Amino acid sequence: MKVKKVLNRTILYFLVALIIVITLAPYLWLVISSFSTKIELMSRQIFLIPHNITLANYKDLMSKDFIPAAMNSIIVTSSVVVISVIIGVLAAYAFSRFRFRGKNPLLNLSLFTQMIPPIALIIPMFIIFKRLDLINHRITLVMIYLSLVLPYLIWIMKSYIDVTPKTLEEAAMIDGCSRLKSFFFVVLPMISTGLAATVIFSFIITWNEFFYAFSLTKTLDAKTLPVLIYDFNSKFGANYVMSATAGVLASLPPVLIALLFQKYIITGLAAGAVKE
């Protein structure tokens, strides 16, 4: 029995280690490549540590439109997250607490929009924004990303609000609070963990979006980091070193946010799975 227990634990540790390697190996290679020279990276020799570690790639990247693209990503992502949280949480509360005509069809319709392939929408979207003279504008990306993030945020936050006791709101309103005050001072603190997790996921989705940004932006007036990384393998040729360097810097915000707030992500996901 003891041998079987040791064997099961050994297999478990092996599988965990294998998953960690498969998950982290591509990112570690990306970091290693960013500190390598182009000649060394393109050689057939396999290495774990570059023979000639250099920071010149990061210095060169700053002169290759990285900062404007990073500012575009920051502005677009922060705008989408702030607007989607304000609208999404209030909409989720309305869907959870109120009864009105067309409630279920509207809720299902918001989810249905996520089932349509982006490739089927890009041509009509391009025509519409072209006629409105909104191609290559950050506001265009903000509107599109809101359509991607809002349904997701509404559905997730509705599940959190559904499990909060209505009696606490009713008690607050009996004590003199309005419906809005009871939402801000009673409901919102109770769903804060789930809200934090949802905000983080919304940030990551928006920050990493490539398809619409690539199709609707042309210059650095609106081009985001994922598009810039792609440009290093098209506009500037197959520059794998610059792609790796830009990829490392572009991945830092979501990676740092995930590491710093992993407690809220795990707790938020677990809270959303509990039903009273």
pLDDT at residue 207 in the model: 94
pLDDT at residue 36 in the model: 84
Q: Which tokens belong to 84?
A: 């989607």
pLDDT at residue 275 in the model: 46
20-27 long-range Cβ contacts below 8 angstroms, 24+ apart:
27/251
Q: Which tokens belong to 150?
A: 């809002």
Burial environment of residue 138 by CB neighbours within 10 A (0 to 12, 13 to 18, 19 or more): buried
pLDDT at residue 159 in the model: 86
Alpha-carbon gap, residue 138 to 72, rounded angstroms: 7
Q: Radius of gyration (Cα) for the chain, nearest Å?
A: 23
pLDDT at residue 260 in the model: 81
Domain-by-domain residue ranges, the chain? Answer: 1-54, 63-273
pLDDT at residue 267 in the model: 63
Sign (positive or negative) of CA dihedral 87, 92, 98, 99? positive
pLDDT at residue 170 in the model: 82
pLDDT at residue 274 in the model: 47
If the chain, 276 residues long, is cut into consecutive pieces of 10 residues, what is the mean pLDDT of each piece?
77 89 86 82 71 83 86 94 92 88 84 84 91 92 92 88 85 83 86 85 91 91 90 72 89 86 66 48
Q: Are 197 and 264 in contact (CB under 8 A)?
A: yes
Domain 63-273 has CATH 3.40.190.10: no
Q: Which tokens belong to 121?
A: 């929408």
